[in-house]
């Protein structure tokens, strides 16, 4: 009996480790540690930037918002060029160099004392950040290979959520102290995490650039001229609006329309964070190639659509019922969020030519960035001003885009050149 009990315990631990976002020793663990260091800094900055720039530097909230909007739009222009550079250079070394550059720019926020200086620093920050995301996608593909890259992406997302949560908690100390020195420590801490991340990245083996088959006929049209790829990525980008919905619209709806006390906002976001850490890796399974990834994108759209009426009906409910339904809606929303993340990665990788992964990830990131740029204004108008009908319209949009994903993917797969075969394990378009 004791032997059977020990075996059952070992099986239980194995199941727990299989579901854990922490990767086993190896290159993915090294990449995860680099991501953890980087995102602790992201959490520090995300939580403290607005107060630092307004309370300590003295900029107005309107100027900060306008500067970040301009910087974000300009920054998108670096996505494709730096992604393409990662196809020709070692993505590990390139990303480490970008991290060092980001450390210098992050430290430059200490020099901000006027709006022009803030705008210049913010633009440099956005350019490096946007380009770094495309290079990261190429690095993940190089580290994990065709069969492991979606799993690796999900692992890094779970780790990133942990890092941001830790960073935000640490930023709370600086915000509570609320002194010039405390804000300076916050800025320096963010810069230091970039350097630590770069050092960890350099522990990975140097990788060659993407191989180009000299017998293959290269595509004359680049990533930004591949209409079928852009159609699929555009559909995925529309679903990316769920990120802005959760971080901007839901908190404001929670307080103004659902009538819940402000601390409930933290509970809602914590629900998303915890579920992401626990489920991101598990829900990423089966999205390594385009056909199953398209089905997962369809599921994501339908699940996100199903959550919108749950959020909508919290308006006017008693507080306890509203809070309960907000948490339930967020749990459903997070499932759609995670299925979308896995599907988006699988499609962006598998529909890209093997020799141009970086450039195509840059194009995919560009469309997602545009969605994030227009999201705040669009969703504020649609949902916060539109109320319950606005939620239902948003849900219908998610459902339609999700349902269209398999057909768009079949169309994109049909355009594959015979000289650019799919990676091993692809399924035919008819399987979508």
Please, where are the H alpha helices in 257-289?
Answer: 263-283
Specify whether 146 is located in the same domain as 229: no
Asked if 106 and 385 touch (Cβ cutoff 8 Å), the reply is no
Specify whether 139 is located in the same domain as 243: no
Specify whether 186 is located in the same domain as 241: no
Q: Which two tokens stand for residue 229?
A: 């790829």
Specify whether 233 is located in the same domain as 197: no
Q: Which two tokens stand for residue 413?
A: 């797969």
Specify whether 359 is located in the same domain as 253: yes
The confidence score (pLDDT) of residue 322 equals 96
CA atoms of 218 and 418, how far apart (whole Å)? 11
Specify whether 70 is located in the same domain as 148: yes
Specify whether 52 is located in the same domain as 102: yes
Sign of CA dihedral 285, 30, 208, 92: positive
Radius of gyration, alpha carbons of the chain: 22
Specify whether 290 is located in the same domain as 425: yes
Q: Which two tokens stand for residue 365?
A: 């990131």
Specify whether 197 is located in the same domain as 270: no
Residue 129: inside a domain = yes
Element (H, E) at 228: helix 227-239
The confidence score (pLDDT) of residue 209 equals 55
- Residue 391: give the domain boundaries: 225-431
Q: Each residue of 70-127: pLDDT tens digit?
A: 998 999 999 999 999 999 999 999 999 999 999 999 999 999 999 999 999 999 999 9
Q: Cα-Cα-Cα-Cα dihedral of 189, 195, 200, 204, to 10°?
A: 150
Q: Which two tokens stand for residue 179?
A: 């002194």
Kindly report the length of the chain: 432
Residue 254: inside a domain = yes
Asked if 296 and 348 touch (Cβ cutoff 8 Å), the reply is no
Residue 1: inside a domain = no
CA atoms of 392 and 118, how far apart (whole Å)? 39
Strands (E) in 139-265, as ranges, are none
Cα-flanking dihedrals φ and ψ of residue 319, to 5°? -55, -45
The confidence score (pLDDT) of residue 68 equals 87
Specify whether 302 is located in the same domain as 401: yes
Residue 2: inside a domain = no
Specify whether 169 is located in the same domain as 300: no
CA atoms of 5 and 197, how far apart (whole Å)? 42
Residue 216: inside a domain = no
Q: Which residues of 129-167 are buried (b: 16+ CB within 10 A; e: fewer)?
A: bbbbbbbbbbbbbbbbebebbbbbbbbbbbbbbbbbbeb
Asked if 285 and 346 touch (Cβ cutoff 8 Å), the reply is no
The confidence score (pLDDT) of residue 419 equals 40
Determine the straight-line distance between the first and last CA of the chain, rounded to whole angstroms.
48
| Ordered mean pLDDT values, 10 residues apiece, the chain (432 residues) | 56 53 85 95 88 90 87 93 93 96 97 96 95 94 92 94 91 87 94 97 79 45 88 97 92 92 89 94 94 98 98 94 97 98 96 93 95 91 94 98 98 69 37 36
Choosing from 201, 236, 256, the residue where a domain stops is 201
Residue 217: inside a domain = no
Choosing from 201, 235, 260, the residue where a domain stops is 201
Domain total of the chain: 2
**Selection from 290, 86, 103 nearest residue 208 by Cα:** 86
Asked if 40 and 167 touch (Cβ cutoff 8 Å), the reply is yes
Residue 210: inside a domain = no
Residue 367: inside a domain = yes
The confidence score (pLDDT) of residue 160 equals 94
Q: Each residue of 173-224: pLDDT tens digit?
A: 888 888 999 999 999 999 999 999 999 999 999 866 555 444 444 443 489 9
- CATH for 97: 1.20.1250.20
CA atoms of 159 and 276, how far apart (whole Å)? 9
Choosing from 169, 201, 233, the residue where a domain stops is 201
pTM, two decimals, is 0.86
Residue with tokens 């849900």: 395
Specify whether 319 is located in the same domain as 189: no
The confidence score (pLDDT) of residue 221 equals 44
Close Cβ partners of 86 (under 8 Å, ≥ 6 residues apart) = 94, 95, 134, 135, 138, 139, 209, 357, 358
């Amino acid at each position: 009996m004791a032997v059977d009990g020990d075996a059952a315990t070992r099986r239980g631990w194995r199941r727990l480790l299989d579901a854990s976002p922490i990767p086993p020793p190896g290159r993915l663990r090294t990449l995860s540690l680099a991501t953890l260091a980087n995102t602790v800094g992201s959490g520090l900055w995300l939580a403290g930037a607005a107060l630092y720039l307004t309370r300590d530097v003295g900029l107005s909230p309107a100027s900060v918002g306008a500067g970040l909007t301009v910087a974000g739009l300009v920054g998108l222009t670096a996505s494709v060029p730096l992604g393409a550079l990662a196809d020709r250079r070692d993505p590990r070394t390139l990303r480490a160099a970008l991290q060092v550059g980001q450390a210098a720019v992050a430290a430059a926020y200490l020099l901000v004392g006027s709006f022009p200086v803030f705008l210049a620093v913010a633009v440099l920050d956005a350019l490096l950040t946007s380009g770094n995301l495309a290079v990261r996608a190429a690095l993940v593909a190089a580290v994990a290979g065709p069969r492991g890259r979606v799993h690796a992406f999900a692992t890094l997302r779970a780790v990133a959520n942990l890092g941001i949560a830790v960073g935000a908690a640490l930023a709370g100390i600086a915000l509570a102290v609320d002194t010039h020195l405390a804000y300076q420590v916050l800025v320096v801490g963010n810069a230091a995490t970039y350097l630590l991340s770069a050092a960890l990245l350099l522990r990975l083996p140097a990788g060659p650039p993407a191989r180009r088959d000299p017998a293959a006929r290269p595509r004359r049209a680049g990533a930004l001229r591949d209409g079928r790829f852009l159609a699929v990525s555009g559909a995925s980008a529309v679903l990316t609006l769920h990120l802005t919905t959760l971080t901007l619209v839901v908190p404001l709806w929670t307080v103004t329309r659902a009538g819940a006390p402000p601390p409930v906002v933290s509970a809602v976001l914590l629900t998303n964070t915890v579920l992401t850490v626990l489920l991101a890796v598990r829900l990423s399974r089966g999205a390594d190639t385009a056909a199953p990834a398209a089905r997962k994108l369809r599921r994501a759209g339908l699940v996100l659509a199903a959550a919108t009426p749950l959020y909508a009906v919290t308006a006017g409910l008693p507080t306890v019922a509203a809070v309960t339904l907000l948490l339930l809606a967020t749990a459903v929303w997070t499932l759609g969020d995670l299925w979308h993340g896995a599907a988006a990665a699988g499609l962006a990788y598998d529909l890209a030519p093997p020799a141009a992964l970086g450039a195509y990830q840059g194009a995919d990131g560009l469309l997602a960035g545009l969605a994030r740029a227009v999201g705040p204004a669009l969703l504020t108008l649609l949902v916060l001003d539109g109320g319950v009908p606005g939620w239902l319209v948003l849900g219908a949009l998610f459902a339609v885009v999700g349902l269209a994903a398999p057909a768009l993917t079949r169309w994109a797969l049909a355009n594959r050149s015979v000289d650019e075969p799919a990676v091993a394990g692809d399924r035919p378009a008819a399987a979508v």
